[in-house]
Structure 1
Amino acid sequence: MATSSLTGERLRDKVCIVTGAASGLGRAIALAYASQGARLVACADLKPTPKSVFEAEEAGIPTHELICKRRGENKGIFVKTNVTIGTEVEALVQEVVKMGGRLDVMVNNAGIGGTENHGMVHEMSEETWDTVMSINSRSVFLGCKYACGQFMKQEPHASGHRGWIVNTSSIMGLVGQMVYGAAYCASKGAVTLLTKQIAVEYAKYKVHCNAVCPGHLRTPMTQDQFQDREMRTAISALTPWGDEWGSAKDVAQAYVYLASDDAAYVTGVALPVDGGYCAQ
Protein backbone atom coordinates (compact mmCIF):
# COMPACT_ATOMS: atom_id res chain seq x y z
CA MET A 1 0.00 0.00 0.00
CA ALA A 2 1.12 3.55 -0.65
CA THR A 3 2.75 5.29 2.29
CA SER A 4 4.21 8.38 0.64
CA SER A 5 2.96 11.83 1.61
CA LEU A 6 0.80 13.24 -1.16
CA THR A 7 0.55 16.97 -1.66
CA GLY A 8 -1.70 19.09 -3.80
CA GLU A 9 -4.45 21.71 -3.81
CA ARG A 10 -7.59 19.58 -3.49
CA LEU A 11 -8.67 21.37 -0.30
CA ARG A 12 -7.27 24.75 -1.18
CA ASP A 13 -8.41 27.55 1.14
CA LYS A 14 -10.83 25.33 3.10
CA VAL A 15 -11.22 25.68 6.86
CA CYS A 16 -11.38 22.27 8.50
CA ILE A 17 -11.98 20.63 11.87
CA VAL A 18 -10.76 17.12 12.67
CA THR A 19 -11.79 15.62 16.00
CA GLY A 20 -9.62 13.01 17.65
CA ALA A 21 -6.67 14.55 15.82
CA ALA A 22 -3.93 13.88 18.39
CA SER A 23 -3.13 10.40 17.14
CA GLY A 24 -3.97 7.54 14.82
CA LEU A 25 -6.40 8.10 11.98
CA GLY A 26 -7.32 11.61 13.13
CA ARG A 27 -3.69 12.71 13.00
CA ALA A 28 -3.31 11.24 9.53
CA ILE A 29 -6.45 13.03 8.31
CA ALA A 30 -5.32 16.37 9.72
CA LEU A 31 -1.88 16.05 8.12
CA ALA A 32 -3.42 15.01 4.82
CA TYR A 33 -5.78 18.00 4.83
CA ALA A 34 -2.93 20.38 5.53
CA SER A 35 -0.91 18.81 2.70
CA GLN A 36 -3.78 19.50 0.30
CA GLY A 37 -3.82 23.24 0.79
CA ALA A 38 -6.32 23.71 3.62
CA ARG A 39 -6.23 27.26 4.94
CA LEU A 40 -6.68 26.10 8.54
CA VAL A 41 -6.85 22.66 10.19
CA ALA A 42 -8.22 22.71 13.73
CA CYS A 43 -7.10 19.66 15.69
CA ALA A 44 -9.68 18.91 18.37
CA ASP A 45 -8.92 16.46 21.16
CA LEU A 46 -8.68 16.21 24.93
CA LYS A 47 -4.90 16.61 24.78
CA PRO A 48 -2.57 17.67 21.95
CA THR A 49 -0.25 14.70 22.52
CA PRO A 50 -1.30 11.04 22.33
CA LYS A 51 -0.89 8.41 25.03
CA SER A 52 0.65 6.06 22.45
CA VAL A 53 3.03 6.88 19.61
CA PHE A 54 2.48 3.56 17.84
CA GLU A 55 2.74 4.06 14.06
CA ALA A 56 2.89 7.84 14.56
CA GLU A 57 4.66 10.06 12.06
CA GLU A 58 7.17 12.36 13.81
CA ALA A 59 5.62 11.17 17.05
CA GLY A 60 7.23 13.72 19.35
CA ILE A 61 5.45 16.66 17.76
CA PRO A 62 1.74 17.44 18.40
CA THR A 63 -0.35 17.30 15.24
CA HIS A 64 -1.08 21.02 15.02
CA GLU A 65 2.58 21.89 15.56
CA LEU A 66 3.64 19.45 12.86
CA ILE A 67 1.18 21.07 10.46
CA CYS A 68 2.66 24.51 11.20
CA LYS A 69 6.19 23.15 10.85
CA ARG A 70 5.41 21.72 7.42
CA ARG A 71 2.89 24.19 6.03
CA GLY A 72 3.45 27.50 7.79
CA GLU A 73 2.48 29.42 10.89
CA ASN A 74 -1.22 29.38 11.85
CA LYS A 75 -2.06 26.57 9.41
CA GLY A 76 -2.86 24.30 12.36
CA ILE A 77 -4.33 24.97 15.80
CA PHE A 78 -5.26 22.80 18.77
CA VAL A 79 -8.65 23.24 20.46
CA LYS A 80 -9.23 21.22 23.61
CA THR A 81 -12.64 19.59 23.22
CA ASN A 82 -14.70 16.94 24.94
CA VAL A 83 -16.77 15.86 21.96
CA THR A 84 -19.54 14.38 24.14
CA ILE A 85 -20.44 17.80 25.57
CA GLY A 86 -22.56 20.00 23.34
CA THR A 87 -21.32 23.34 24.68
CA GLU A 88 -17.71 22.32 24.00
CA VAL A 89 -18.43 21.23 20.43
CA GLU A 90 -20.34 24.47 19.84
CA ALA A 91 -17.40 26.45 21.25
CA LEU A 92 -15.03 24.50 18.98
CA VAL A 93 -16.97 25.53 15.89
CA GLN A 94 -17.19 29.14 17.07
CA GLU A 95 -13.43 29.30 17.74
CA VAL A 96 -12.60 27.93 14.31
CA VAL A 97 -14.98 30.35 12.58
CA LYS A 98 -13.37 33.17 14.55
CA MET A 99 -9.91 32.07 13.41
CA GLY A 100 -10.75 31.05 9.84
CA GLY A 101 -13.76 33.21 8.98
CA ARG A 102 -15.97 30.20 8.20
CA LEU A 103 -16.14 26.41 8.43
CA ASP A 104 -15.95 24.26 5.33
CA VAL A 105 -15.15 20.73 6.49
CA MET A 106 -16.14 18.92 9.69
CA VAL A 107 -14.54 15.52 10.31
CA ASN A 108 -16.22 13.71 13.21
CA ASN A 109 -13.51 11.16 13.89
CA ALA A 110 -13.05 10.96 17.67
CA GLY A 111 -13.95 7.59 19.14
CA ILE A 112 -12.93 4.66 21.26
CA GLY A 113 -12.37 1.04 20.31
CA GLY A 114 -14.33 -2.06 21.03
CA THR A 115 -11.31 -4.26 21.53
CA GLU A 116 -11.71 -4.69 25.27
CA ASN A 117 -13.34 -7.93 26.39
CA HIS A 118 -16.78 -6.64 27.21
CA GLY A 119 -18.33 -10.06 26.75
CA MET A 120 -21.55 -10.95 25.00
CA VAL A 121 -24.58 -8.71 25.30
CA HIS A 122 -25.95 -10.46 28.37
CA GLU A 123 -22.56 -9.97 30.06
CA MET A 124 -22.06 -6.33 29.06
CA SER A 125 -22.53 -3.62 31.66
CA GLU A 126 -24.91 -0.76 31.02
CA GLU A 127 -22.05 1.63 31.79
CA THR A 128 -19.96 0.16 28.97
CA TRP A 129 -22.83 0.52 26.53
CA ASP A 130 -23.51 4.13 27.53
CA THR A 131 -19.83 5.13 27.38
CA VAL A 132 -19.21 3.69 23.93
CA MET A 133 -22.42 5.11 22.51
CA SER A 134 -21.68 8.54 23.96
CA ILE A 135 -18.16 8.82 22.60
CA ASN A 136 -18.73 7.09 19.26
CA SER A 137 -22.22 8.23 18.24
CA ARG A 138 -23.42 11.13 20.42
CA SER A 139 -20.23 13.00 19.55
CA VAL A 140 -20.95 12.60 15.83
CA PHE A 141 -24.47 13.93 16.30
CA LEU A 142 -23.08 16.98 18.12
CA GLY A 143 -20.43 17.57 15.46
CA CYS A 144 -23.03 17.36 12.71
CA LYS A 145 -25.46 19.56 14.63
CA TYR A 146 -23.11 22.47 15.14
CA ALA A 147 -21.39 22.14 11.76
CA CYS A 148 -24.74 22.22 9.97
CA GLY A 149 -25.80 25.21 12.04
CA GLN A 150 -22.72 27.08 10.85
CA PHE A 151 -23.10 25.94 7.24
CA MET A 152 -26.65 27.29 7.16
CA LYS A 153 -25.52 30.73 8.36
CA GLN A 154 -22.57 31.28 6.06
CA GLU A 155 -22.26 32.08 2.38
CA PRO A 156 -21.60 29.10 0.12
CA HIS A 157 -18.05 28.10 -0.65
CA ALA A 158 -16.66 29.28 -4.00
CA SER A 159 -17.73 25.91 -5.40
CA GLY A 160 -21.36 26.76 -4.62
CA HIS A 161 -21.55 24.16 -1.86
CA ARG A 162 -22.03 25.11 1.79
CA GLY A 163 -20.06 22.48 3.61
CA TRP A 164 -18.68 18.99 3.90
CA ILE A 165 -19.09 16.53 6.78
CA VAL A 166 -17.07 13.32 6.88
CA ASN A 167 -17.89 10.94 9.72
CA THR A 168 -15.79 8.01 10.88
CA SER A 169 -17.88 4.88 10.95
CA SER A 170 -16.34 1.41 10.58
CA ILE A 171 -16.75 -1.86 8.78
CA MET A 172 -18.43 -2.79 12.07
CA GLY A 173 -21.00 -0.12 11.23
CA LEU A 174 -21.95 -2.23 8.20
CA VAL A 175 -21.62 -5.81 9.44
CA GLY A 176 -21.39 -7.63 12.75
CA GLN A 177 -18.12 -9.17 13.89
CA MET A 178 -17.11 -11.32 16.84
CA VAL A 179 -13.86 -9.39 17.44
CA TYR A 180 -15.68 -6.23 18.53
CA GLY A 181 -18.35 -5.78 21.17
CA ALA A 182 -22.02 -5.10 20.53
CA ALA A 183 -21.72 -1.52 21.80
CA TYR A 184 -19.00 -0.66 19.29
CA CYS A 185 -20.91 -2.18 16.36
CA ALA A 186 -24.12 -0.44 17.40
CA SER A 187 -22.39 2.91 17.85
CA LYS A 188 -20.85 2.75 14.39
CA GLY A 189 -24.10 1.56 12.85
CA ALA A 190 -25.70 4.67 14.30
CA VAL A 191 -23.02 6.80 12.63
CA THR A 192 -23.69 5.16 9.27
CA LEU A 193 -27.44 5.83 9.36
CA LEU A 194 -27.05 9.32 10.84
CA THR A 195 -24.76 10.12 7.91
CA LYS A 196 -27.38 9.03 5.40
CA GLN A 197 -30.17 10.94 7.13
CA ILE A 198 -28.20 14.18 7.26
CA ALA A 199 -27.18 13.74 3.62
CA VAL A 200 -30.84 13.51 2.59
CA GLU A 201 -32.03 16.28 4.91
CA TYR A 202 -29.39 18.83 3.94
CA ALA A 203 -28.84 18.01 0.26
CA LYS A 204 -31.06 20.87 -0.87
CA TYR A 205 -28.77 23.24 1.02
CA LYS A 206 -25.71 21.79 -0.76
CA VAL A 207 -24.23 20.24 2.37
CA HIS A 208 -22.39 16.97 1.83
CA CYS A 209 -22.43 14.28 4.52
CA ASN A 210 -20.48 11.08 3.99
CA ALA A 211 -18.82 8.45 6.14
CA VAL A 212 -15.66 6.41 5.86
CA CYS A 213 -15.77 2.83 7.15
CA PRO A 214 -12.18 1.79 7.86
CA GLY A 215 -11.15 -1.82 8.16
CA HIS A 216 -8.41 -3.07 10.45
CA LEU A 217 -5.69 -0.41 10.67
CA ARG A 218 -2.37 -0.09 12.44
CA THR A 219 -3.18 2.66 14.94
CA PRO A 220 -2.81 3.21 18.69
CA MET A 221 -6.41 2.03 19.08
CA THR A 222 -5.50 -1.39 17.67
CA GLN A 223 -1.94 -1.58 18.96
CA ASP A 224 -2.67 -4.41 21.39
CA GLN A 225 -4.41 -6.45 18.70
CA PHE A 226 -1.67 -5.89 16.15
CA GLN A 227 1.14 -6.77 18.54
CA ASP A 228 -0.61 -9.94 19.74
CA ARG A 229 0.57 -12.42 17.11
CA GLU A 230 -2.37 -14.80 17.56
CA MET A 231 -4.97 -12.01 17.42
CA ARG A 232 -3.22 -10.33 14.49
CA THR A 233 -3.20 -13.58 12.52
CA ALA A 234 -6.86 -14.27 13.26
CA ILE A 235 -7.95 -10.80 12.15
CA SER A 236 -5.70 -10.84 9.08
CA ALA A 237 -7.36 -14.08 7.97
CA LEU A 238 -10.71 -12.27 7.80
CA THR A 239 -9.54 -9.85 5.11
CA PRO A 240 -8.97 -10.74 1.42
CA TRP A 241 -5.89 -8.51 1.47
CA GLY A 242 -4.32 -11.10 3.74
CA ASP A 243 -1.69 -10.32 6.31
CA GLU A 244 -1.40 -6.63 5.45
CA TRP A 245 -3.33 -4.25 7.70
CA GLY A 246 -4.09 -0.80 6.39
CA SER A 247 -2.26 2.30 7.54
CA ALA A 248 -3.93 5.49 8.70
CA LYS A 249 -2.35 7.26 5.72
CA ASP A 250 -4.07 4.90 3.31
CA VAL A 251 -7.48 5.68 4.78
CA ALA A 252 -6.88 9.42 5.18
CA GLN A 253 -6.86 9.85 1.41
CA ALA A 254 -10.54 8.84 1.34
CA TYR A 255 -11.29 11.72 3.71
CA VAL A 256 -9.47 14.08 1.33
CA TYR A 257 -11.59 12.90 -1.58
CA LEU A 258 -14.89 13.25 0.29
CA ALA A 259 -14.04 16.80 1.38
CA SER A 260 -12.93 17.88 -2.09
CA ASP A 261 -14.68 19.14 -5.20
CA ASP A 262 -13.90 15.75 -6.77
CA ALA A 263 -16.84 14.46 -4.71
CA ALA A 264 -19.21 17.20 -5.89
CA TYR A 265 -22.00 14.69 -6.61
CA VAL A 266 -21.33 12.40 -3.64
CA THR A 267 -23.38 12.44 -0.47
CA GLY A 268 -24.85 9.83 1.86
CA VAL A 269 -22.10 7.31 1.16
CA ALA A 270 -20.63 4.92 3.73
CA LEU A 271 -17.33 4.14 2.03
CA PRO A 272 -15.46 1.01 3.14
CA VAL A 273 -11.68 1.30 3.02
CA ASP A 274 -10.98 -2.17 4.26
CA GLY A 275 -8.82 -4.33 2.02
CA GLY A 276 -11.93 -5.99 0.61
CA TYR A 277 -13.47 -7.13 3.91
CA CYS A 278 -17.00 -5.96 3.10
CA ALA A 279 -16.85 -7.38 -0.42
CA GLN A 280 -17.18 -10.90 1.01
Structure 2
Amino acid sequence: MFDLTGKKAVVTGGARGLGKGIATALGNAGAEVVLIDISHQLDHIVQELKPRFKVHSVYGDLSTFAGREEAFQKAISLLNGKVDILVNSAGIHDRRACFDLPVTDFNKVMEINHTAVYHACQFFGKTMVEQGSGKMINLASMLTFFGGFNATAYAASKGAVGQLTKSLSNEWAGYGVQVNAIAPGYMATEMNKDLLEETNERLPQINARIPARRWGTPEDVGGAAVFLASDAANYVSGVILPVDGGYAAR
Protein backbone atom coordinates (compact mmCIF):
# COMPACT_ATOMS: atom_id res chain seq x y z
CA MET A 1 0.00 0.00 0.00
CA PHE A 2 2.99 2.31 0.40
CA ASP A 3 4.53 1.50 -2.99
CA LEU A 4 4.70 4.56 -5.29
CA THR A 5 6.10 2.77 -8.33
CA GLY A 6 4.91 4.46 -11.52
CA LYS A 7 3.62 7.56 -9.70
CA LYS A 8 4.67 11.01 -10.90
CA ALA A 9 5.43 13.69 -8.32
CA VAL A 10 6.21 17.41 -8.19
CA VAL A 11 7.99 18.83 -5.13
CA THR A 12 8.48 22.58 -4.76
CA GLY A 13 11.49 23.61 -2.71
CA GLY A 14 12.84 20.14 -3.41
CA ALA A 15 16.55 20.95 -3.48
CA ARG A 16 17.06 21.49 0.24
CA GLY A 17 15.79 20.91 3.74
CA LEU A 18 12.45 19.22 4.19
CA GLY A 19 11.69 19.40 0.47
CA LYS A 20 14.76 17.38 -0.38
CA GLY A 21 13.96 14.86 2.36
CA ILE A 22 10.42 14.43 1.04
CA ALA A 23 11.53 14.19 -2.61
CA THR A 24 14.11 11.56 -1.67
CA ALA A 25 11.55 9.52 0.27
CA LEU A 26 9.04 9.64 -2.61
CA GLY A 27 11.72 8.61 -5.09
CA ASN A 28 12.95 5.77 -2.89
CA ALA A 29 9.34 4.54 -2.71
CA GLY A 30 9.23 4.34 -6.52
CA ALA A 31 7.98 7.72 -7.73
CA GLU A 32 9.39 9.77 -10.59
CA VAL A 33 10.04 13.23 -9.14
CA VAL A 34 10.38 16.76 -10.49
CA LEU A 35 12.14 19.18 -8.14
CA ILE A 36 11.21 22.85 -8.50
CA ASP A 37 13.59 25.21 -6.75
CA ILE A 38 15.45 28.50 -7.11
CA SER A 39 18.57 27.17 -5.37
CA HIS A 40 21.87 27.14 -7.23
CA GLN A 41 22.32 23.67 -5.70
CA LEU A 42 19.38 22.25 -7.70
CA ASP A 43 21.32 20.58 -10.52
CA HIS A 44 23.87 19.21 -8.08
CA ILE A 45 21.13 17.66 -5.95
CA VAL A 46 19.47 16.10 -9.00
CA GLN A 47 22.75 14.55 -10.10
CA GLU A 48 23.18 13.20 -6.58
CA LEU A 49 19.74 11.56 -6.67
CA LYS A 50 19.71 10.27 -10.26
CA PRO A 51 21.48 6.97 -9.49
CA ARG A 52 18.70 6.13 -7.02
CA PHE A 53 15.52 7.04 -8.91
CA LYS A 54 14.16 9.00 -11.87
CA VAL A 55 14.37 12.71 -11.08
CA HIS A 56 14.23 16.00 -12.98
CA SER A 57 15.09 19.61 -12.18
CA VAL A 58 13.10 22.76 -12.92
CA TYR A 59 14.56 26.10 -11.92
CA GLY A 60 11.62 28.22 -10.80
CA ASP A 61 11.04 31.54 -9.07
CA LEU A 62 7.87 31.01 -7.04
CA SER A 63 7.72 34.63 -5.90
CA THR A 64 5.99 35.76 -9.13
CA PHE A 65 2.96 34.55 -11.04
CA ALA A 66 4.89 34.34 -14.30
CA GLY A 67 7.75 32.44 -12.68
CA ARG A 68 5.35 29.91 -11.19
CA GLU A 69 3.42 29.39 -14.42
CA GLU A 70 6.62 28.74 -16.34
CA ALA A 71 7.94 26.30 -13.73
CA PHE A 72 4.66 24.42 -13.43
CA GLN A 73 4.35 24.06 -17.21
CA LYS A 74 7.88 22.69 -17.46
CA ALA A 75 7.24 20.26 -14.62
CA ILE A 76 4.09 18.77 -16.07
CA SER A 77 5.71 18.52 -19.50
CA LEU A 78 8.58 16.50 -18.01
CA LEU A 79 5.97 14.14 -16.57
CA ASN A 80 4.17 13.82 -19.92
CA GLY A 81 1.06 15.65 -18.74
CA LYS A 82 0.39 13.46 -15.70
CA VAL A 83 0.89 14.21 -12.03
CA ASP A 84 -0.13 11.97 -9.13
CA ILE A 85 1.54 13.74 -6.21
CA LEU A 86 2.10 17.42 -5.46
CA VAL A 87 4.14 18.52 -2.46
CA ASN A 88 4.22 22.24 -1.68
CA SER A 89 7.39 22.46 0.39
CA ALA A 90 8.92 25.78 -0.71
CA GLY A 91 8.84 28.39 2.03
CA ILE A 92 10.64 31.32 3.63
CA HIS A 93 10.70 32.90 7.08
CA ASP A 94 11.36 36.44 8.31
CA ARG A 95 12.08 36.48 12.04
CA ARG A 96 11.35 40.13 12.78
CA ALA A 97 8.95 41.68 15.24
CA CYS A 98 5.85 43.29 13.80
CA PHE A 99 7.12 46.88 14.12
CA ASP A 100 10.33 45.93 12.32
CA LEU A 101 8.66 44.07 9.43
CA PRO A 102 7.48 46.31 6.57
CA VAL A 103 4.29 45.33 4.77
CA THR A 104 6.30 44.71 1.59
CA ASP A 105 8.39 42.06 3.37
CA PHE A 106 5.29 40.58 5.00
CA ASN A 107 3.84 40.21 1.51
CA LYS A 108 6.99 38.42 0.25
CA VAL A 109 6.49 35.71 2.85
CA MET A 110 2.78 35.40 2.05
CA GLU A 111 3.48 35.23 -1.69
CA ILE A 112 5.77 32.21 -1.45
CA ASN A 113 4.29 30.46 1.59
CA HIS A 114 0.61 30.82 0.71
CA THR A 115 -0.17 32.34 -2.69
CA ALA A 116 2.31 30.04 -4.47
CA VAL A 117 0.76 27.06 -2.69
CA TYR A 118 -2.70 28.06 -3.89
CA HIS A 119 -1.38 28.59 -7.42
CA ALA A 120 0.29 25.16 -7.49
CA CYS A 121 -2.81 23.43 -6.12
CA GLN A 122 -4.98 25.14 -8.70
CA PHE A 123 -2.61 24.37 -11.59
CA PHE A 124 -1.92 20.71 -10.83
CA GLY A 125 -5.36 20.15 -9.30
CA LYS A 126 -6.98 20.46 -12.73
CA THR A 127 -5.00 17.48 -13.99
CA MET A 128 -5.70 15.46 -10.86
CA VAL A 129 -9.44 16.11 -10.99
CA GLU A 130 -9.51 15.15 -14.68
CA GLN A 131 -7.60 11.94 -13.86
CA GLY A 132 -9.93 11.17 -10.97
CA SER A 133 -7.00 10.68 -8.61
CA GLY A 134 -4.20 12.57 -6.90
CA LYS A 135 -2.47 13.38 -3.65
CA MET A 136 -1.67 16.91 -2.54
CA ILE A 137 0.55 17.51 0.46
CA ASN A 138 1.07 21.03 1.75
CA LEU A 139 3.71 21.97 4.31
CA ALA A 140 2.01 23.60 7.26
CA SER A 141 3.79 24.20 10.59
CA MET A 142 3.38 24.22 14.33
CA LEU A 143 2.52 27.87 13.71
CA THR A 144 -0.58 26.69 11.88
CA PHE A 145 -1.81 26.03 15.43
CA PHE A 146 0.23 28.48 17.53
CA GLY A 147 1.15 32.14 17.15
CA GLY A 148 4.90 31.78 17.48
CA PHE A 149 7.29 34.56 18.43
CA ASN A 150 8.53 37.23 16.03
CA ALA A 151 6.77 35.25 13.30
CA THR A 152 3.78 37.32 12.22
CA ALA A 153 4.19 36.74 8.48
CA TYR A 154 5.19 33.08 8.79
CA ALA A 155 2.41 32.26 11.25
CA ALA A 156 -0.17 34.04 9.10
CA SER A 157 0.98 32.19 5.99
CA LYS A 158 1.01 28.77 7.64
CA GLY A 159 -2.37 29.35 9.26
CA ALA A 160 -3.67 30.11 5.78
CA VAL A 161 -2.09 26.94 4.40
CA GLY A 162 -3.99 24.90 6.98
CA GLN A 163 -7.34 26.43 6.02
CA LEU A 164 -6.56 26.16 2.31
CA THR A 165 -5.82 22.46 2.77
CA LYS A 166 -9.17 21.82 4.43
CA SER A 167 -11.09 23.90 1.91
CA LEU A 168 -9.55 22.15 -1.11
CA SER A 169 -10.18 18.78 0.53
CA ASN A 170 -13.86 19.68 0.68
CA GLU A 171 -13.84 20.58 -3.02
CA TRP A 172 -11.85 17.67 -4.42
CA ALA A 173 -12.18 14.59 -2.19
CA GLY A 174 -15.25 13.58 -4.17
CA TYR A 175 -13.12 13.52 -7.33
CA GLY A 176 -10.58 11.11 -5.87
CA VAL A 177 -8.08 13.81 -4.91
CA GLN A 178 -6.90 13.82 -1.31
CA VAL A 179 -5.54 17.11 0.03
CA ASN A 180 -3.63 17.00 3.30
CA ALA A 181 -0.87 18.87 5.11
CA ILE A 182 2.13 18.01 7.24
CA ALA A 183 2.88 20.27 10.19
CA PRO A 184 6.56 19.81 11.06
CA GLY A 185 7.73 20.61 14.54
CA TYR A 186 11.20 21.98 15.23
CA MET A 187 13.40 20.66 12.43
CA ALA A 188 17.20 20.68 12.23
CA THR A 189 17.34 22.43 8.85
CA GLU A 190 18.98 25.50 7.37
CA MET A 191 15.89 27.61 8.04
CA ASN A 192 16.30 27.04 11.78
CA LYS A 193 20.07 27.37 12.06
CA ASP A 194 19.77 30.55 14.16
CA LEU A 195 17.45 28.81 16.64
CA LEU A 196 19.91 25.93 16.99
CA GLU A 197 22.81 28.12 18.07
CA GLU A 198 23.82 27.44 21.67
CA THR A 199 23.72 31.18 22.39
CA ASN A 200 20.01 31.31 21.55
CA GLU A 201 18.20 31.81 24.87
CA ARG A 202 15.07 30.08 23.51
CA LEU A 203 16.86 26.81 22.69
CA PRO A 204 16.60 25.26 26.19
CA GLN A 205 12.88 26.17 26.34
CA ILE A 206 12.23 24.54 22.96
CA ASN A 207 14.21 21.42 23.82
CA ALA A 208 12.39 21.02 27.13
CA ARG A 209 9.01 20.92 25.38
CA ILE A 210 9.84 18.18 22.85
CA PRO A 211 8.95 14.80 24.41
CA ALA A 212 11.09 12.97 21.82
CA ARG A 213 14.13 14.86 23.22
CA ARG A 214 15.49 15.74 19.79
CA TRP A 215 14.77 17.96 16.82
CA GLY A 216 13.26 16.43 13.71
CA THR A 217 14.99 15.63 10.44
CA PRO A 218 13.95 15.71 6.77
CA GLU A 219 13.79 11.90 6.92
CA ASP A 220 11.14 12.11 9.65
CA VAL A 221 8.94 14.24 7.42
CA GLY A 222 9.68 12.09 4.37
CA GLY A 223 8.06 9.05 5.96
CA ALA A 224 4.85 10.96 6.65
CA ALA A 225 4.83 12.24 3.06
CA VAL A 226 5.14 8.72 1.63
CA PHE A 227 2.14 7.66 3.72
CA LEU A 228 -0.01 10.59 2.58
CA ALA A 229 1.06 10.08 -1.06
CA SER A 230 0.26 6.36 -1.04
CA ASP A 231 -2.84 4.20 -1.35
CA ALA A 232 -2.65 3.70 2.40
CA ALA A 233 -4.08 7.23 2.73
CA ASN A 234 -6.90 6.93 0.20
CA TYR A 235 -9.50 7.74 2.88
CA VAL A 236 -7.42 10.44 4.60
CA SER A 237 -8.34 13.95 3.49
CA GLY A 238 -8.30 17.42 5.02
CA VAL A 239 -5.83 16.37 7.73
CA ILE A 240 -3.04 18.52 9.18
CA LEU A 241 -0.61 15.89 10.45
CA PRO A 242 1.88 17.00 13.12
CA VAL A 243 5.35 15.49 12.74
CA ASP A 244 6.81 17.06 15.85
CA GLY A 245 8.12 14.51 18.34
CA GLY A 246 5.04 15.14 20.50
CA TYR A 247 5.53 18.92 20.76
CA ALA A 248 1.89 19.86 20.08
CA ALA A 249 0.61 17.38 22.65
CA ARG A 250 2.76 18.81 25.44
**Shorter-chain TM-score: what band?**
over 0.9
TM-fit CA distance, 1:175 = 1.5
1:49 aligns with 2:41: yes
Q: Residue in 2 aligned with 1:108?
A: 88
CA contact (8 A) 2:11 2:36 kept: yes
Q: Which moved more, 1:123-132 or 1:20-29?
A: 123-132
CA contact (8 A) 2:83 2:127 kept: yes
- Work out the percentage of aligned pairs sharing the same amino acid: 34
**Alpha carbons 2:129, 2:172 under 8 Å: kept:** no
From the superposition, tell whether residues 226 and 272 of structure 1 become closer, same or farther in structure 2 (CA, over 3 Å).
Answer: same
Q: Which amino acid aligns with 1:65?
A: Q
Match of 1:259 in 2: 229
Q: What are the ranges of 5 or more consecutive residues in structure 1 without an aligned counterpart?
A: 1-7, 51-60, 157-161
Q: What do the CA deviations read for 1:239-267 (whole angstroms, capped 9, x no partner)? A: 2223x111111111111110100101001
C-alpha separation in 2, matches of 1:144 and 1:133: 16
One of 177, 195, 200 as aligned partner of 2:170: 200
The separation in 1 between residues aligned to 2:178 and 2:2, in whole angstroms, is 19
Q: Give the equivalent residue in structure 2 for 1:214.
A: 184
**Of 207, 225, 228, the match for 1:236:** 207
Consecutive unaligned residues in structure 2, runs of 5 or more:
none
Give CA deviations for 1:98-157 in whole Å, capped at 9, x if unaligned. Answer: 22221111101100124x2x11x344321221111111111111111101122233x34x
Find the counterpart in structure 2 of residue 13 from structure 1: 6
Partner of residue 68, structure 2: 89
- For 1:264, the aligned partner's letter is N
Indicate the residue corresponding to 1:182 in structure 2.
152
1:223 maps to 193
Under a length normalisation based on structure 1, what TM-score does the superposition of the two structures give? Answer: 0.83
Cα distance in 2 for partners of 1:86, 1:105 equals 21
- 196-205 vs 227-236, which moves further: 227-236
2:129/2:176 contact within 8 Å kept: no
Of the structure 1 ranges 125-134 and 210-219, higher mean CA displacement relative to structure 2 is found in 125-134
Q: What is the CA–CA distance in structure 2 between the aligned matches of 1:110 and 1:152, rounded to whole Å?
A: 23
Q: Which runs of 4+ in 1 moved over 6 A?
A: none
Q: Is the 8 A contact 2:56 2:78 kept in 1?
A: no
Q: Give yes or no for contact 2:2–2:226 (8 Å, CA) kept in 1.
A: no
Q: Distance in 2 between matches of 1:41 and 1:239?
A: 32
SS in 2 for 1:228: coil
Matching of residue 171 in structure 1 with residue 142 in structure 2: yes
Q: When the two structures are superposed, what TM-score results if normalisation uses the length of structure 2?
A: 0.92
Secondary structure of 1:96's partner? helix
Give me the whole-angstrom Cα distance separating, in 2, the residues matched to 1:37 and 1:48.
26
Question: Residues of 1 paired with 2:92 and 2:166: CA distance?
Answer: 22
**Residue number in structure 1 paired with 2:26:** 33
